[in-house]
A = this chain, B = another copy of it.
Amino acid sequence: MIDVAREAGVALRTVSRVVNRDSTVGAELAERVNAAIAALDYRPDERARQLRLGTTGTLGAAVRQLSHVNPVLRAVERAARAADLMVLAASTDDDEQLERQVVESMCRRRFDGIILEPIGTDHGYLVPELAAGLSLVAVDRPVLGLDVDCVISDNEAGIRTAYAHLAAHGHERVVYVGDDERIYTAQQRATAFRDCVAGRGAPAEGTAYTGPIDPARIRAAVQAALDGPTPATAIITGNATISVEVLRCLGPDSAKVAIVGFDDSELATLLRPDLTVIAQDDAAIGGTAIDLLRARIADPSRPIHRVTVPVKLIPRGSGETAPS
């Protein structure tokens, strides 16, 4: 920077003014400085700038898997871009320890705020960070035990809607195939499903098949549901991956059972019949996540907001067949 100032024959101060587009600098002088910058291949060091300024203009996104389809992350990026913030993302890989490493690393880098898809149940490591002024918004799941802004889908309403939809089409015996209930959303959805069944006066036990996403387990669950004395006529799945696995093991029989899948996905319209889904409002989730985060950065002492985003049933055929 000193070299640039010398090259342009101006003061160091003026170079800084030009780089920061200060209005109190004349056009021709700015041009001279820019020429010097180009001539010397000067490129400002953001680290020093951030150190001096205190702020980074950067949001961190710690998500389960960067390289998987994640419409919420996409919406987050879009919203952040509109607010002229850079978002840098890293994967937590569904690993609690890795999540901690990633988040702490972002904290040391003094990111202005972090968007987190929390995993696991113990987020004690966040306490000192939050006390030190970390702005954090949880997405998809809350941070259990901690008062943190969060935005999650209305999982319960989604399951209720799906169940009512199937009931309205005459299905009496519906089963739920879902993810491991140690995962918050999976637990929410499974519980909501059991409540639906119990609400109709039917015994809830044995109707919700939950556990890890393992093809063999899911195949066993589907077979158990369909091969009993009173076989199920409809299935609600717990998320997009489960939907795929269920459809995979149903194969050509998939037309014989009604299916409503949680989470919309590209392949929902690839099948025959197309998959009826409970779709989350990804754009709303991502957008409000950024809104909440910016608001918290602006006013760290504001009250905690927990936003629930409605979901929507999209009928495409697989959920509108009558029981066979």
**Interface stretch among A167-175, A185-193, A263-271?**
A263-271
Given contacts A108-B45, A272-B251, contact A77 B66 (CB under 8 A): yes
A47 B51 Cβ-Cβ under 8 A: yes
- Rank and list the top 4 A-B pairs by shortest CB-CB distance, nearest first: A46-B108, A88-B88, A67-B70, A67-B73
Taking the complex as formed, is A224 at the interface, i.e. its CB lies under 8 A from any CB of chain B?
no
Which of A25-33, A124-132, A153-161, A203-211 lies on the face that meets chain B? A124-132
Cross-chain contact of A43 among B66, B108, B244, B270 (Cβ < 8 A): B108
On whether the beta carbons of A89 and B86 are closer than 8 Å, the reply is no
A50 part of interface (Cβ distance < 8 Å):
yes
A82 at the interface (CB under 8 A from B): no
Beyond A67-B71, A67-B74, A68-B69, whether A45 also contacts B51 by CB under 8 A is yes
User: In this complex, what residue of B is CB-closest to A65?
Assistant: B74
Please, which residue of chain B has its CB at the minimum distance from the CB of A49? B108
Asked if A321 is at the interface (CB within 8 A of a chain B CB), the reply is no
Q: Is A105 positioned at the interface, with any CB of B under 8 Å from its CB?
A: yes
Shortest distance between the CB of A311 and any CB in chain B (Å) = 19
User: CA of A44 to CA of B38 in the docked complex: distance in angstroms?
Assistant: 35
A217 interface hit (Cβ, 8 Å): no
A89 touching B66, Cβ below 8 Å: yes
A87 with B86: CB separation less than 8 A: no
Near B by CB (< 8 A), chain A positions 47-66 give 47-48, 50-51, 56, 60, 65-66
- Contact call A248/B269, Cβ cutoff below 8 A: yes
The answer on a CB contact under 8 Å between A105 and B86 is: yes
Most buried by B among A67, A74, A269: A67
Please indicate the chain B residues that have their CB under 8 angstroms from the CB of A6 in the complex: none
User: Which residues of chain B are within 8 angstroms of A88 by Cβ–Cβ distance?
Assistant: 60, 88-90
Query: Chain B residues with Cβ under 8 A from A105's Cβ?
Result: 46, 86
